Amino acid sequence: MQDFLKIEGLSKTFTPGKPVFDNVSFTLNKGEFVCIIGHSGCGKTTILNVLAGLDTASTGNVFMDGREVAGPSLERGVVFQSHALMPWLSVRKNIAFAVASKWPGWKAPEVNAHVERYVAMVGLSAAIDKKPSQLSGGMKQRVGIARAFAISPKMLLLDEPFGALDALTRGTIQEELMNIVRDSHQTVFMITHDVDEAILLADRILLMKNGAETPAGYVAGGIGESVTNTLPRDRTRAGLHHLPGYYELRNHIVDFLIARAKPGDAH
């Protein structure tokens, strides 16, 4: 479905006359995986929070599946860098809480079977009755991903979900996420600082500019460029740098981040 998510003329201002970003407009098609990348302070997380219904824009509108986004909804699953699990509940009960919220009419055995399916999907069946304090950082993030998928959201919003993980764990979960998304045809909007992560996961990469003071006056941030990822969809982390076109794509993104993302720094 074309234009499943539609963002029109979004801006956010904290300091009068100096919007963090202005006139941000883009769309996501159903089943598309889009990453947004940019320097700290450009407004990436604010945009994601507006899409999640956790924040409001100063101007502009967001529509998903033909309806305006207003407030949080179980139609959108969110995974943050901090796992946001309830520490007093086991893995099973953390996910069951979300599932029962989505389908309040379900009986306990139905909820439990659903939970077990998604816990197995992220390889955590052996830890299903453990509490978050008994899990590693990577395991907690898997629980967060399982919980987000378990409510069958129309869209998944990921705010640097692997940013705090070591490289090995990060790589493993990236590939798991990629496989799950491919199998489920999930629509995903993800923030990352990691260029290779964006190239591995995304169908399209939005490059964001920061707002900045320039000799001509203040320039608001926004989407500087939208880059389509033309590498084969069956790409893997291990084989990424062997693919024709990988270095050109990577260099293009890195060049944008170094030379064009901050107007005041451009030479």
**pLDDT tens readout for residues 94-151:** 999 999 999 999 999 999 999 999 999 888 999 999 999 999 888 888 898 889 889 9
| Spatial separation of the C-alpha atoms in residues 46 and 130, rounded to whole Å | 33
Question: Ramachandran region of residue 193, left (φ > 0), alpha (ψ -120 to 50) or beta?
Answer: alpha
CA dihedral 73, 74, 79, 80 (to 10 degrees): 30
- pTM for this entry: 0.90
Look up the CATH number of the domain holding residue 28.
3.40.50.300
Domain co-membership, 24 together with 53: yes
pLDDT score, position 267: 38
Q: How many CA atoms lie within 13 A of 146 on its CB side?
A: 28
Q: Are both 170 and 63 inside the same structural domain? A: yes
Domain boundaries, position 122: 84-152
User: What does residue 70 show for φ and ψ, rounded to 5 degrees?
Assistant: -145, 100
- 69 and 88 share one domain: no
Domain ends where: 117, 152, 187? Answer: 152
What is the count of structural domains for the chain? 2
191 lies in the same domain as 120: no
In this structure, the answer to whether residues 187 and 208 fall within a common structural domain is yes
Residues 64, 180, single domain; the answer is yes
Beta strands in 13-166 (DSSP E): 21-28, 33-37, 59-64, 67-68, 76-79, 155-159
Mean pLDDT by 10 residues, the chain (267 residues): 88 90 94 93 92 92 91 88 86 95 95 94 92 91 88 91 79 84 89 93 95 88 94 90 95 92 58
Final residue belonging to a domain, choices 131, 152, 173? 152
Same domain, 123 and 252: no
d(CA 124, CA 104): 25
